[in-house]
Amino acid sequence: DIQMTQSPSSLSASVGDRVTITCRASESVSVWVAWYQQAPGRVPKLLIFDASTLESGVPQRFSGSGSGTEFTLTITSLQPDDFGTYYCQQYQDYASFGPGTQVEMK
């Protein structure tokens, strides 16, 4: 099974900050990584797939990069709607999610 890890597990940031979240896979998953946002009390929302492709309707302040075993989600200017938990997910071999990174207001 492919294990996904994320760092940090949580972070505090202010509106306007640049935020970077890292995701690592236990073996190569090529570019088969998606990122989701789960706002408090809400359902997960797909942000990025294929490591760097922005889902339709997602603001361009979100971007993804990486391949192989290391991936990054970047939010260039954090907005109030962006607080919540972010999950990476691999789909090279079935599906498995990272443990999540909680983005909290500083």
Partner 1 sequence: EVQLLESGGAVAQLGGSLRLSCEASGFIFENYAMAWVRQAPGKGLEWVSILSGSGLSDYYTDSVRGRFTISRDNSKNMLYLQMNSLRGEDTAVYYCAKDTTGGAPNYYFDSWGQGTLVTVSS
Binding site for partner 1 (CB under 8 A): 1, 34, 36, 38, 43-46, 49, 55, 87, 89, 91, 94-100
For partner 1, the closer CB: 17 or 55 = 55
DSSP lists the bridge partners of residue 71 as 23, 66
For partner 1, the closer CB: 11 or 99 = 99
For partner 1, the closer CB: 83 or 97 = 97
- Helix, strand, coil shares of the chain, percent, nearest 5, are 5, 50, 45
For the CB of residue 34, give the shortest distance to partner 1 in the complex, in Å.
Answer: 4
Distance CA 66, CA 99 (A): 18
For the CB of residue 49, give the shortest distance to partner 1 in the complex, in Å.
Answer: 5
For partner 1, the closer CB: 33 or 75 = 33
For the CB of residue 22, give the shortest distance to partner 1 in the complex, in Å.
Answer: 16
Burial (CB count <10 Å: 0-12, 13-18, 19+), residue 79:
exposed
For the CB of residue 14, give the shortest distance to partner 1 in the complex, in Å.
Answer: 25
Distance CA 92, CA 27 (A): 10
First to last CA, the chain: 36
